[in-house]
Homo-oligomer: A and B are copies of this chain.
Amino acid sequence: MARIIDEGKIQRIRESTIEFVVQNGYGGASISSIATRAGVAEGYLYRFYRSKHELVTKLLYSKIARIIEKLEDLLKTRSTIKEVVNELIGEFFIMAEESPEKIKFIHVLMHDYNFQVSDDQRQQIQDLCKQVVQMGVANGEIGSHITLEEAYGMVVIYPLEFINLRMKGFFGIGTWTSEDQLRVSEFSINALK
């Protein structure tokens, strides 16, 4: 009974945390503003998170986990990395479209000193990159010499940076089309050949 209400509160805390971290950075996201926006008391979130840092860390991990899951799923159900990469990047663009804050959230925190991807997740990412390379090599889609770093760079970092650059309007453009998405995918795959 009470559970339902609670979940809603926790969910609202999560959303409002992302919102403020994205808009004002980690330092600018105060517990007070997060709680107010979420409609809960300041002290409430300490029942679920030991600190502001833990709250944000857990959120970051869950967002990264979703990407990892997506990639895991793609590797199981697709047979070419063209498909895999294309759909993963598609997922990034969908996230950017539907909830730009989430993409920004990942992007900001990946580079924030206070946060690190967990060892666990780093290991998972490494494994997945390995699988991507293996599949690509097996299919003759990419060069046999391609390293994990190169795969990670083109499949994850490059698309995220592209989206972020667009969001910032760095080159004067602030939006994107499905053609942009396709082009990023192709550019990414092509670089690995």
Contact = CB atoms under 8 A, between A and B. Distances in A.
Interface in A78-119: 107-108, 110-114, 117
Output the residue of A26, A153, A166, A190 with the most chain B CB within 10 A.
A153
Nearest to A125: B170
Given A149-B162, A153-B158, A113 B23 contact: yes
A148 B171 contact: yes
A161 interface: yes
A163 to B, nearest CB: 11
A108 B108 contact: no
A98 to B, nearest CB: 22
Q: Looking at chain A, what size class is its interface with the partner chain?
A: 35 or more
Nearest to A23: B113
Given A149-B171, A162-B149, A165-B149, A107 B113 contact: no
A175 interface: no
A25 B112 contact: yes
A155 to B, nearest CB: 12
Contacts of A126: 171-172
Contacts of A65: none
A15 interface: no
B149 A153 contact: no
Interface of A: 2, 22-28, 41, 107-108, 110-114, 117, 122, 126, 148-150, 152-154, 157-158, 161-162, 165-166, 170-172, 187, 190-191
